[in-house]
Amino acid sequence: MRKAFDRQRRLDCPSVAGVPLNFNCRNQTIPILRGLQHIYSRPEVRDSILRAIGRDVNGKSKANRGRPGLDYWEILVLAAARLGCGYDYDQLQDLAENHRALRQVMGIGDWQEEEKDRGKFDWRRIRDNLTLLSPETIEKINQTIIEEGHRLEPKAAETVRADSFVVETNIHYPTDSSLIRDGLRKVLCLAAALAGLFGLDGWRWTKTWRAFSSGRGRSAGPRDGACWEARRFPTRRSCSASSRRTRSCTSAARRASRYSSDVCC
């Protein structure tokens, strides 16, 4: 027997939206709980997510028959904590039994019997319930949350925040010209893909632009090494031909000087 959530208010627990959270705390659980509070305060968003969870959890069984199980809201809170914070099932059991704010967000008060509470949030029971969620349901929950975020901040999609980190790999030496060339190559590739996705014209010459930017980047490369020497100095064949011409001119000058000295004598 399951239900979406307990609609009966408790004297030992505040409402989900009224649970106090310490926003000065840098623990990653706090943003997850704040997001769950907002979902709970939006009945249309909350109910659509809980109905999707109920279809996966119940399957072909009836929700009003059998032993009491975890509520859909409790499953959502535990699944959000696991996926958002990377907790394992033992950590989820410890949070569900000892984290006061998370328990209040799940609708569990301070007067809950300890023995009953310990059996309810056994790590095996948490695992068996969370693994019932299908990838399609998780994707639907993500899409619903994204749509709600766009409703709150319509212009959020116009800005992008990026972060970078160091990964050990086999790459070329990161000079300024090579990094600019790599950036242009990737930007042109992504811009062409986005233009095709949104049906925008004007990106038919992407391959030509990439080749042109690569050529410009190589010509602006560092002035050292074999490539720069090859561009700066003539080829070996032209050097050898020039040397032969120089030697022949020198020999002719020597013969002419000997001939002039013989005539003078």
What's residue 122's pLDDT? 86
For residues 101 and 204, give the distance between their C-alpha atoms in angstroms, rounded to a whole number. Answer: 55
Mean pLDDT on 182-208:
84
What's residue 263's pLDDT? 39
Q: Look at residue 121 and tell me whether its pLDDT is greater than 80.
A: yes
For residues 38 and 53, give the distance between their C-alpha atoms in angstroms, rounded to a whole number. Answer: 18
List the one residue out of 120, 244, 228, 119 whose CA is nearest residue 175.
228
Helix (H, G, I), strand (E, B) or coil at 175: coil
Predicted confidence band at 79 (pLDDT cuts at 50, 70, 90)?
very high
Could you tell me which residue, 5 or 180, shows the higher pLDDT? Answer: 180
What tens digit of pLDDT does each residue of 202-246 get? Answer: 888 888 877 877 766 566 555 544 454 454 444 444 445 445 555
What tens digit of pLDDT does each residue of 12-38 get? Answer: 788 888 888 998 988 889 999 999 999
- Which of 20-24, 48-52, 122-126, 165-169 has the weakest average pLDDT? 165-169
What's residue 202's pLDDT? 80
Q: Other CB atoms closer than 10 Å to residue 221's CB: what's the count? A: 17
What's residue 252's pLDDT? 57
Q: Other CB atoms closer than 10 Å to residue 46's CB: what's the count? A: 21
Decide: pTM greater than 0.75.
no
Among left, alpha and beta (phi > 0; psi -120 to 50; other), residue 9 is beta
Alpha helices in the chain (DSSP H): 29-41, 43-58, 72-85, 89-98, 100-105, 114-120, 123-130, 135-152, 176-198, 206-219, 225-232, 236-264
Quote the mean pLDDT of the chain.
77
